[in-house]
Amino acid sequence: MSSLSSSVMLLVLMFTTNLMAASAEHFNRDCQVSYGNENVAILDGGKLLTLSLDNTTGSGVQSNNNYLFGRFDMNIKLVPGNSAGTVTTYYLSSQGPTHDEIDFEFLGNVSGQPYIIHTNLYSQGQGNREQQFYPWFDPTTSFHKYTVVWNPQRIIWMVDETPIRVFNNNEAIGVPFPNSQAMTVYTSIWDAEDWATEGGRVKTNWMEAPFSASYTDFELNACVYSSGSSSCGSSTSTNSITGTEAWETQALDSEDEEKLLSVQEKYMVYNYCTDYERFPQGLPTECKQPRFLQ
């Protein structure tokens, strides 16, 4: 190969790597405070974020960029002790009445009782697709990784690389799927004592405030969307991504399916697809699909 060809290949490789490879985000460089500035602390050179809630305000941070598809990783350590009434979040959302949204929400509880990992999805403003899980670990004593994989075929929620939920693109049977609105990444902590813990029966104990959650290792492998164009180009070609876990086509293999089934059988505490009382006129269309096609 000529030196010119080698140089061209190197430039292409460098461009592709910069465009698509996972990047470690800095909270003070790549994010901005959404609200509650006095309760936001960015430490360790921008690598660690602490959000706090007191009886005056919660707090939140959002990404500077918007994204249309990608893999989004965040390590989170939740509020320890009595966290009843609090909600800590990590989610993606667009804006407006027909917004799209992909949620991780962590519903606090009284000391000694488990958190609830609350997942939800909005597409074209339609939500009501909640699934909830007990964690199989203590999420307050160390950091754990929470991942959203969002590609044109499906959305996968993962905890410490274990899939807990998948939502497939079923537009062919009339189910809306988020694939046209760019979304911002958000983190926050706020008071939801009217519903978060035992349906609002257990209130926030403000004598325990402030309540603080920590975030670190915020990594993105995603398509930045700006001014009507995507950093990934006009198509989502897998040729631009290397590795066996390329997010653009990531699906559940047989081992992942076994892990997901195990988590759902042991730790799922609510599934909208089995709530016949909530949907007396019939379950949502995707719930009638086989488990891994929902």
Cα 29 to Cα 13, 42, 46, 131, 219: the distances in Å are: 26, 10, 7, 33, 13
SS3 state of residue 150? strand
- Kindly report, residue by residue over 182-239, the tens digit of the pLDDT: 999 999 999 999 999 999 999 999 999 999 999 999 999 999 999 899 888 654 443 3
pTM of the model: 0.89
- Kindly report, residue by residue over 47-60, the tens digit of the pLDDT: 999 999 999 999 99
On whether the CB atoms of residues 94 and 182 are closer than 8 A, the answer is yes
**Which residues are catalytic, by number?**
101, 105
Check residue 16 and give its pLDDT.
40
Here the tokens at position 21 are: 């490879």
Here the tokens at position 116 are: 């609830």
Among 155, 54, 166, smallest CA distance to 100 is for 155
Residues 6+ apart with CB under 8 A from 245: none
Question: Which residues are registered as beta bridge partners of 156?
Answer: 149, 166
Mean pLDDT by 10 residues, the chain (294 residues): 43 39 80 98 97 97 97 98 97 96 97 95 96 98 98 97 97 96 98 92 95 97 92 54 66 95 97 96 93 68
Residues 6+ apart with CB under 8 A from 185: 62, 63, 67, 72, 90, 91, 92, 220
Residues 6+ apart with CB under 8 A from 130: 118, 119, 120, 270, 272
